[in-house]
């Protein structure tokens, strides 16, 4: 059992009906692999191999070009890597080939283990009133020296902040989905004190809004020490 989810053989994870006519199907020890892709209006289709693990982890090996070395991307990272213009909607933008047609991942059965794992993580990481305890955080742009707000209510939002805070050269233009540019004014100091704590609107940090590691804000495909330590401890 890993992260509260019992491992299941790849051959038993999905029914024959759920796997019918899905391109690139391969069954492993505790995963199923299928062909996937994401379409950019500018760059066209980026294709890859999506692995769905029984513990809910999703991993994509990109095959957009023969020399691409991105072999352990999250779906959100694959969506961004493909150049998709309307990023941050990977469940709809990443597709599988089913009976020769592109079908959004959200319209298939392949998210059921991911959704189960997310529900378990959400249940662990909630305060007594039921709200997820991740307050808003800020990252400073290296171009304009302005701080930008990051909401951390979902796993996707946590990953975006996680990657931005780890990038020593992060700039406003990297936050493409919010259309933030260096020309936009920084939030007023009086507004920045409100960070979404469920206990107190102007909280400076407490056990209700500061998380020290959970399934939402730590990532198995990240090599930073905090993520490695969390994944290692979760497996014990």
**110: CATH:** 3.10.390
pLDDT, tens digit (0-9, with 9 covering 90-100), for 185-208? 999 988 888 888 877 778 888 777
Tokens of 194: 């409100």
Q: What is the mean pLDDT of residues 46-65?
A: 91
Domain count, the chain: 2
Residue 116 clears pLDDT 70, i.e. is over it: yes
Same domain, 106 and 147: no
**Domain membership flag for residue 191:** yes
Separation between Cα atoms, residue 110 and residue 13, nearest integer Å: 9
Task: For residue 54, give Cα distances in angstroms to 12, 14, 98, 134.
Answer: 10, 10, 21, 26
pLDDT for position 118: 64
pLDDT for position 186: 93
**Which residue among 63, 97, 122 closes a domain?**
122
Degrees to nearest 5, angle at CA 226 with 31 and 5: 30
DSSP of 59-106, one letter per residue?
EEEE-SSTT----SB-HHHHHHHTT-SS-S-HHHHEEEEETTEEEEGG
pLDDT for position 170: 94
Same domain, 86 and 150: no
**Domain membership flag for residue 129:** no
Confidence tier at 7 by pLDDT (50, 70, 90): low
Degrees to nearest 5, angle at CA 89 with 133 and 81: 105
pLDDT for position 119: 59
Residue with the larger pLDDT of the pair 145 and 220: 145
pLDDT, tens digit (0-9, with 9 covering 90-100), for 56-96? 888 999 998 888 888 888 888 888 888 886 667 889 999 99
Same domain, 45 and 84: yes
Residue 128 clears pLDDT 50, i.e. is over it: no
Q: How much is the pTM?
A: 0.53
pLDDT for position 108: 94
Same domain, 99 and 151: no
DSSP of 7-32, one letter per residue?
---GGGSS-HHHHTTBTT-EE-SSEE
DSSP of 93-138, one letter per residue?
HEEEEETTEEEEGGGSSTTHHHHHHHHHHHHHTB-TTS-B----EE
Structural domain range at position 22: 16-122
């Amino acid at each position: 059992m890993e992260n509260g989810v019992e491992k299941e053989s790849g051959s038993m994870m999905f029914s024959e009906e759920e796997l019918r006519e899905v391109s690139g199907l391969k069954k492993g020890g505790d995963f199923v692999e299928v062909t996937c892709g994401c379409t950019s209006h500018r760059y066209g289709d980026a294709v890859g191999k999506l692995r769905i693990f029984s513990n809910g982890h999703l991993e994509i090996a990109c095959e957009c070009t023969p020399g691409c070395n991105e072999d352990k991307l999250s779906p959100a990272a694959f969506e961004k890597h493909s150049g998709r213009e309307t990023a941050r909607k990977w469940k709809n933008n990443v597709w599988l080939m089913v009976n020769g047609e592109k079908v959004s991942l959200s319209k298939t059965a392949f998210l059921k283990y991911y959704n189960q794992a997310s529900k378990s993580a959400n249940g662990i990481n909630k305060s007594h009133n039921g709200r997820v305890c991740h307050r808003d955080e800020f990252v400073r742009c290296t171009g304009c020296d302005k701080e930008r707000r990051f909401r951390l209510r979902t796993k996707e939002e946590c990953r975006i902040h996680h990657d931005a805070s780890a990038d020593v050269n992060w700039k406003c233009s990297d936050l493409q989905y919010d259309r933030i540019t260096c020309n936009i004014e920084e939030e007023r100091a009086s507004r920045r004190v409100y960070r979404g704590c469920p206990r107190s609107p102007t909280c400076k940090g407490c056990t209700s809004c500061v998380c020290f590691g959970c399934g939402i804000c730590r990532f198995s495909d990240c090599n930073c020490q905090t993520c490695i330590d969390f994944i290692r401890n979760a497996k014990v």
